[in-house]
Amino acid sequence: MIKRMHVAVNCSDLQKSLDFYKAFFGTEPTKIKENYAKFELEDPALHFSLNVRLFEKSGVLNHLGFQVNDTKDVLAIGERLRQSGLLLIDEMNTTCCYAVQDKVWVYDPDGNAWEIFYTKEDSEFESAGPRDDISLCCVPTETTAATAECCTTIPTGSTTIKLESFKNEKTCCN
């Protein structure tokens, strides 16, 4: 029987990543070493580790996320993340990846995208509606997150999203 899912990501600066993930997960890590940290979450059941390694900024990872029970959970987690100093992009009632969803997004210090989402219903369309131009799930080749007041350019595969997502590192865009 499966105990919990395991996700390991490379990071360039362990302390910056620890600051982000402590705020994001709302808990302290269970282990910290010079080049490694581990979080063992119960809800959701996740074994998450950070590994300080050299890596290419562009890779095969698209994004990570947590599916929640309803929009109320999306809003509650979004508020907790905002209170922790993380800036989010909100996408409510958006059609993305063949589903109508309510979601929020944050980025870790190395540009890994995380979404908290609730799927309202299936859709026949990959993306649709007035926010096609800034949907993070089905992004065009280059995007600027219009909702972000202060931002840092973050590469996400072949796309670029302008968004500030790390605590205490706000750099305003011009």
Residue-averaged pLDDT of the chain: 76
Write the DSSP symbol of residue 132.
G
Of 51, 21, 17, 49, the residue nearest 34 (C-alpha): 51
Q: What DSSP element (H or E) covers 147?
A: none
Assessment of whether the complete model's pTM goes beyond 0.85: no
Q: What is the pLDDT of residues 76-130, one digit of tens each?
A: 999 999 999 998 899 999 888 788 999 999 999 998 989 999 999 988 877 665 4
Alpha-carbon distance of 104 to 91, in angstroms, equals 6
The residue with tokens 């865009």 is 173
What per-residue confidence (pLDDT) applies to 157?
A: 36
Q: Which residue has the higher pLDDT, 71 or 95?
A: 71
Alpha-carbon distance of 38 to 30, in angstroms, equals 6
Report the percentage of the chain scoring pLDDT > 90.
53
Q: What is the pLDDT of residues 10-21, one digit of tens each?
A: 999 999 999 999
Mean pLDDT across the stretch 2-15?
91
